[in-house]
């Protein structure tokens, strides 16, 4: 996030797109609810009528995968109506003439033809956001899990740059991170292109720094992403270590994923449970869990915080860092003589400019947002206050692209996937917590009542849902939260392994999978047999 969580109650216009925040980041959503209670305007763009839409002032129910058209249409209106922040654009950005030329054709009527959102609502949203004293954008995986995920983010960036809604309190472009330490995994260098602290692996200065620190030559090329690695399992990739991830269930195209892991010569998994992924491993190590582990995590607002152990682990379970260090030692790799999580974290701080001002003791109360460039620095709650990372903010020229697969006669319905309030990911944790089943015992396919009727079914009936990659059985739930022609379910339940269906394409830059769009066919099951629709 460019701005801290406490800013979420401060904007006077809030634009939420592709984020089901009340279910996926409920505590963050309380800030938005406070702003709305104060009188802030709320714009919500989402294919589904999510709970956030119920409290919005304008709701933009766009067709799945049409975000760049919607955002291009908004940019067009802002430019057309003279609502740009001219001085911000002049002082802080570059590339505006080309950008303005590029969006000239993107009228709201054109955007309506692609998104299905009435042009008048697009204009209203654009005007409110542009005229805000403090306009803030919040997004999540509804923006990024597309083949055009980067285009979507850059389209949002264009809006913020046009209107100067960035670099100040209560503004910004704010992605919400989905896992407790997904930010920290990146901070710590678990990326194919970056060392710890997002230092590029192809920068010779950084290469020299880490060669010296680790006492070993470093690779001069970027590594491959996990998505590519899974493609090449059994081919170029032969041995894999997976820490705490149920890849088989949470990644797209489950059959492909399982096949990939089975093709490895050697798979080591570190986890809490014998997950579907761990079950494929050659060696499985028992890790200590949350509440058993001392350590550090970074939240979505770049706040660095301490995790503390409260109870002893079961049996012989060990912290992840200890397990990895022991494997490293037995591989003969020097430098893994850590005695505590504190040793590891302090080494990270010594190598990451973003953490240079931090150490284990300083983060005790979680007061710092990175970057913290030197000891005594108070941290950086708001990014881009004076200038952007590379100087000026650059307008990007984005064109609308269709999703990797679009609906047709064979697969006429859009499936979009996501999460639910009461469950988390593949339910390895929430599914094992007493009481959760009282509220959410099974998965169901949220479908517009008109579609349910048109497909000859009733609420609660079972159906077969198929894509080009496979099919699953799932129970139908009739609800107005889904628009006609689009269905929704989560991937949390192992008995409805919806990621068998997904995996139609990936963003070419980030290789993030298009989990939010998947054309499917729905057929009722009668007497245990799938009936052709």
Partner 1 sequence: MSVIEDRTTAELQIDGETVVFSPVETLLAVARRHRREVPTLCYDPRLDPFGGCRLCVVELEGVRNPVASCARAAEPGMVVRTHGEALDKHRKTLLEMVCSENRQIDVEPLSGYASQELAELADRYQARTGRFQGRQSGKSKQDDDNPFILRDYDQCISCYRCVRVCAEQEGDYAISVKNRGFDTQITVEFDGLLKDSSCTFCGQCVQTCPTGALADRKALRAVDLPGEVVKTRTICTYCGVGCSVDALTKGDKLVGIQPAMDGPANQGALCIKGQYAFDFVQHEDRLSTPLMRGDDGELHPASWDDALDRAAQGFLDARDKHGRHSVYAVASGRAPHEAAYTTQRFIRAGFWTNHIDNCSRA
- Please report, as residue ranges, which positions from 31 to 90 form the binding site for partner 1 (by CB under 8 A): 32-34, 36-37
Query: Contact between 126 and partner 1 (CB under 8 A)?
Result: no
- Containing 108, the helix (H) or strand (E) segment is helix 108-115
Query: Contact between 262 and partner 1 (CB under 8 A)?
Result: no
- Pick the closer one to partner 1 by CB: 319 or 357: 319
With contacts defined by CB under 8 A, how many residues of the chain interact with partner 1? Answer: 151
Counting every residue written for the chain, the total comes to: 533
What secondary structure does DSSP assign to 37-60, as a single string? HHT-EEEEE-SS--HHHHT-SEEE
Q: Which residue of 82, 87, 97, 311 would you call a contact of partner 1, by CB under 8 A?
A: 311
Q: Which residue of 309, 394, 468, 525 would you call a contact of partner 1, by CB under 8 A?
A: 309
Residue 373 CB, nearest approach to partner 1 (Å): 18
List beta partners, residue 489: 417
Structure token pair of residue 492: 């949390």
Query: Contact between 26 and partner 1 (CB under 8 A)?
Result: yes
Query: Contact between 298 and partner 1 (CB under 8 A)?
Result: yes
- Pick the closer one to partner 1 by CB: 99 or 322: 322
Q: Which residue of 75, 284, 404, 465 would you call a contact of partner 1, by CB under 8 A?
A: 284
Whether the CB-CB separation of 64 and 516 falls below 8 Å is answered with yes
**44, 171, 41, 62: which is closest to 114 by C-alpha?**
62
Query: Contact between 268 and partner 1 (CB under 8 A)?
Result: yes
Handedness of CA 311, 315, 318, 319 (dihedral sign): negative
Residue 180 CB, nearest approach to partner 1 (Å): 5
Cα–chain center distance at 108: 28
Half-sphere exposure of 485 (CA within 13 A, CB side): 11
- Please report, as residue ranges, which positions from 320 to 339 form the binding site for partner 1 (by CB under 8 A): 320-321, 323-328, 330-331, 333-336, 338
Residue 145 CB, nearest approach to partner 1 (Å): 8
Whether the CB-CB separation of 35 and 10 falls below 8 Å is answered with yes
The C-alpha atoms of residue 94 and residue 75 are separated, in whole angstroms, by 16
- Pick the closer one to partner 1 by CB: 125 or 268: 268
The C-alpha atoms of residue 276 and residue 96 are separated, in whole angstroms, by 50
What secondary structure does DSSP assign to 257-322, as a single string? HHHHHHT-SEEEEEESS--TTGGG-SEEEEBP-TTS--EEEE-TT-BEEEE---SPPSTT-B-HHH
Residue 342 CB, nearest approach to partner 1 (Å): 9
Residue 78 CB, nearest approach to partner 1 (Å): 30
| Binding segment (CB under 8 A) for partner 1, from list 221-229, 387-395, 452-460, 516-524 | 221-229
Residue 482 CB, nearest approach to partner 1 (Å): 20
Rg (CA), the chain: 24
Residue 104, phi then psi, degrees to nearest 5 = -60, -35
| Binding segment (CB under 8 A) for partner 1, from list 87-95, 103-111, 155-163, 283-291 | 283-291
DSSP 483: P
Residue 323 CB, nearest approach to partner 1 (Å): 8
Query: Contact between 495 and partner 1 (CB under 8 A)?
Result: no
The C-alpha atoms of residue 425 and residue 250 are separated, in whole angstroms, by 7
Q: Which residue of 173, 398, 513, 520 would you call a contact of partner 1, by CB under 8 A?
A: 513
- Pick the closer one to partner 1 by CB: 182 or 468: 182
Q: Which residue of 315, 376, 528, 532 would you call a contact of partner 1, by CB under 8 A?
A: 315
- Pick the closer one to partner 1 by CB: 318 or 384: 318
Query: Contact between 287 and partner 1 (CB under 8 A)?
Result: yes
The C-alpha atoms of residue 405 and residue 412 are separated, in whole angstroms, by 11
Q: x/- binding map, residues 422-461, to partner 1, per CB under 8 A?
A: x-x---xxxxxxxxx-xx----------------------
Q: x/- binding map, residues 173-192, to partner 1, per CB under 8 A?
A: ---xxxxxxxxxxxxxxxxx
Q: Which residue of 39, 205, 217, 532 would you call a contact of partner 1, by CB under 8 A?
A: 217
Query: Contact between 344 and partner 1 (CB under 8 A)?
Result: yes
Residue 361 CB, nearest approach to partner 1 (Å): 15
Query: Contact between 319 and partner 1 (CB under 8 A)?
Result: yes
Three-state helix/strand/coil letters over 178-222: CCCCHHHHHHCCCCCCEECCCEECCCHHHHHHHHHHHCCCCCCCC
| Binding segment (CB under 8 A) for partner 1, from list 78-86, 163-171, 238-246, 471-479 | 238-246
Query: Contact between 139 and partner 1 (CB under 8 A)?
Result: no
Cβ burial of 10 (10 Å; 0-12, 13-18, 19+) is: buried
**308, 287, 307, 288: which is closest to 298 by C-alpha?**
307
């Amino acid at each position: 996030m460019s701005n801290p969580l406490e800013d979420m109650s401060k904007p006077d216009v809030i634009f939420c797109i592709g984020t089901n925040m009340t279910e996926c980041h409920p505590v963050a959503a309380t800030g938005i609810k406070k702003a709305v209670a104060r009188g802030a305007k709320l714009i919500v763009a989402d294919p589904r009528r999510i709970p956030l839409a119920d409290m919005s002032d304008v709701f933009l129910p766009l067709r799945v995968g049409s975000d760049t058209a919607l955002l291009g249409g908004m940019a067009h209106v802002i430019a057309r109506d003279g609502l740009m922040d001219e001085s911000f654009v002049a002082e802080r950005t570059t590339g505006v003439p080309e950008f303005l030329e590029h969006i000239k054709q993107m009228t709201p009527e054109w955007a309506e033809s692609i998104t299905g959102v009435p042009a008048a609502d697009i204009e209203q949203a654009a005007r409110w956001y542009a005229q805000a004293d403090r306009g803030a954008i919040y997004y999540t995986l509804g923006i990024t899990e597309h083949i055009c995920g980067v285009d979507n983010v850059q389209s949002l960036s264009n809006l913020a740059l046009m209107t100067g809604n960035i670099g100040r309190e209560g503004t910004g472009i704010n992605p919400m991170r989905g896992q407790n330490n997904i930010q920290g995994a990146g901070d710590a260098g678990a990326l194919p292109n970056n060392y710890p602290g997002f230092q590029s692996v192809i920068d010779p200065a950084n290469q020299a720094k880490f060669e010296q620190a680790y006492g070993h030559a470093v690779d001069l090329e970027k590594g491959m992403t996990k998505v590519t690695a899974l493609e090449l399992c059994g081919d170029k990739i032969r041995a894999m270590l997976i820490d705490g991830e149920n890849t088989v269930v949470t990644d797209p195209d489950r059959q492909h994923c399982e096949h990939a892991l089975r093709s490895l010569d050697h798979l080591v998994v570190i986890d809490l449970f014998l997950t579907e992924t761990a079950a494929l491993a050659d060696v499985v190590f028992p890790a200590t869990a949350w509440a058993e582990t001392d350590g550090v995590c970074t939240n979505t607002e770049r706040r660095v915080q301490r995790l503390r152990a409260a109870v002893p682990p079961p049996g012989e379970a060990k912290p992840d860092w200890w397990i990895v260090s022991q494997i490293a030692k037995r591989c003969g790799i020097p430098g893994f003589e850590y005695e505590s999580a504190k040793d590891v974290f302090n080494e990270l701080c010594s190598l990451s400019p973003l953490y240079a001002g931090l150490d284990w003791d300083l983060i005790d109360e979680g007061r710092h947002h990175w970057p913290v460039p030197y000891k005594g620095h108070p941290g950086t709650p708001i990014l881009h206050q004076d200038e952007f990372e590379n100087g000026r903010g650059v307008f990007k020229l984005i064109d609308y692209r269709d999703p990797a697969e679009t609906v047709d006669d064979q697969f006429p319905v859009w499936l979009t996937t996501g999460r639910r309030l009461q469950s988390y990911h593949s339910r390895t944790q929430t599914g094992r917590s007493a009481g959760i089943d009282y509220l959410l015992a099974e998965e169901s396919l949220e479908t517009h009542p008109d579609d349910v009727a048109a497909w000859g079914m009733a609420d609660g009936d079972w159906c077969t849902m198929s894509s080009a990659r496979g099919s699953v059985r799932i129970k139908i739930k009739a609800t107005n939260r889904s628009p006609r022609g689009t269905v929704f379910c989560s991937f949390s339940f192992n008995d409805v392994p919806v990621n068998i269906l997904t995996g139609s394409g990936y963003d070419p830059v980030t290789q993030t999978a298009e989990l939010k769009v998947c054309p499917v066919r729905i057929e009722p099951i009668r007497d245990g047999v799938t009936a052709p629709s």
